[in-house]
Amino acid sequence: MPGKFEVHNLWPIPVYKSVLPVREKWKVLIKGIEYERTHINNSDISKDRFLLNSMPELKKEIEDHCEHYVRKYLTVKNNAEFYLLNSWSNIHGPGEYSQIHCHANALISGVYYPIFPKKSGNLAFHKSWGFKNISDQAIQLEYEEHNNITSAQYVLDISEGDIVLFPSHLDHSVYENKTNENRFSIAFNFFVKGVFGKEEYKLEIKWVKK
């Protein structure tokens, strides 16, 4: 038998989950706005792609959660200023789901659940083929235990009022809504501005309002 040993789990992907208590006026607002069908026909999406601008209290709460995520957990320095790019609401009716996807052209993405009937579909994250342990596409190893190291997907149990933030490149999906009620979510993306690097590698990213 081997003697004493250590295992080092290198470069985990951080997913942040917290609770943001829902206000009734937020529910009323997202139920009353205009929606259109998505091009893949599996949900409805708000026509307003900057939805949180009309919900300033919720916008501020989400920005605060992003700050907590990037400063307290990721320990990003203050030269990087994270700002909200866009935001929209989704409706998944009975039998509908969100396919596996990631969010391009962003650094931090997230979702908030202001209306979430129980058992209306959990949030799943999917391991890319680029994140390997000792297996690849040619060999499908079986594991004694499925956890965040061995599993091809990792599922978060979702309840109403949950907020989740994650790196935008991370593939994710939402399970089928198996209730008779609509599931409402608000998705959003953050990017960054500031001065990065030094000397000849110095780069400034800034947002200019037109």
**13-60 pLDDT tens trace:** 899 999 999 999 999 999 999 999 999 999 999 999 999 999 999 999
The whole-number pLDDT of residue 53 equals 97
Task: Look up tokens 């593939």; give the residue.
Answer: 171
User: Under a CB-based contact definition with an 8 Å cutoff, are residues 176 and 97 in contact?
Assistant: yes
User: Under a CB-based contact definition with an 8 Å cutoff, are residues 95 and 177 in contact?
Assistant: yes
Q: Is the pLDDT of residue 3 over 80?
A: yes
Q: Which domains does the chain have, with CATH numbers?
A: 16-198 (2.60.120.620)
As a three-state string, the secondary structure of the chain is: CCCCCCCCCCCCCCCEEEECCCCHHHHHHHHHCCEEECCCCCCEEECCCEHHHHCHHHHHHHHHHHHHHHHHHCCCCCCEEEEEEEEEEEEECCCCCEEEECCCCCCEEEEEEEECCCCCCCEEEECCCCCCCCCECCECCCCCCCCCCCCCEEEECCCCCEEEEEECCCEEEECCCCCCCCEEEEEEEEEEEEEECCHHHCEEECCCCC
User: Under a CB-based contact definition with an 8 Å cutoff, are residues 60 and 26 in contact?
Assistant: no
The whole-number pLDDT of residue 192 equals 95
Round to whole Å and give the CA distance between 133 and 32: 47
Round to whole Å and give the CA distance between 58 and 114: 10
Q: Do β-strands 153-156 and 44-46 pair in parallel, antiparallel, or remain unpaired?
A: unpaired
- pLDDT tens, 129-179? 777 666 555 567 778 888 877 788 899 999 999 999 999 999 999 999 999
